[in-house]
């Protein structure tokens, strides 16, 4: 299951290199950032975990997967999407914080 966090640019929008600069500075060397055609893939250290894993039997016991997220800007450059796919609370919190940085600075409208 994917979670999209989308902002739509209003009067101001970042140049493509500004999207990259903010991404690099947000993670400050704590992630590997790669460009793949139409999006950035951000790979984070460690594996997915669950904050309730040791206290709840309701938490899945599936093997941990790599931590990562995607940052995609549409071809017309009208919106930016930070996407997580089956990630843990840590990655989801980072994704929410990242999209908020873009929203605040460029006065973007959240969707």
**pLDDT one digit per residue (tens) for the chain, 111 residues:** 789 999 999 999 999 999 999 999 999 999 999 999 999 999 999 998 888 888 888 766 666 689 999 999 999 999 999 999 989 999 999 999 999 999 999 999 999
**3-class secondary-structure state, position 97:** helix
List the domains of the chain with CATH numbers. Answer: 2-54+62-110 (3.30.310)
Q: What is the CA radius of gyration of the chain?
A: 15
How far apart (Å, rounded) are the C-alpha atoms in residues 86 and 80?
Answer: 20
How many CB atoms within 10 Å of residue 37?
5
Q: Among positive and negative, which fits the CA dihedral 36, 8, 92, 44?
A: positive
């Amino acid at each position: 299951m994917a979670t999209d966090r989308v902002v739509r640019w209003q009067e101001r929008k970042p140049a493509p290199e500004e999207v990259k600069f903010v991404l690099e500075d947000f993670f400050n060397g704590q992630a590997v950032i790669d460009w793949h055609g139409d999006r950035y893939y951000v790979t984070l250290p460690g594996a997915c975990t669950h904050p309730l894993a040791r206290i709840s039997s309701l938490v899945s016991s599936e093997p941990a997967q790599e931590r990562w997220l995607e940052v995609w800007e549409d071809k017309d450059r009208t919106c930016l999407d930070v996407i997580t796919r089956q990630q843990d609370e840590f990655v989801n919190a980072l994704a929410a914080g990242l999209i908020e940085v873009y929203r605040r600075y460029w006065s973007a409208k959240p969707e």
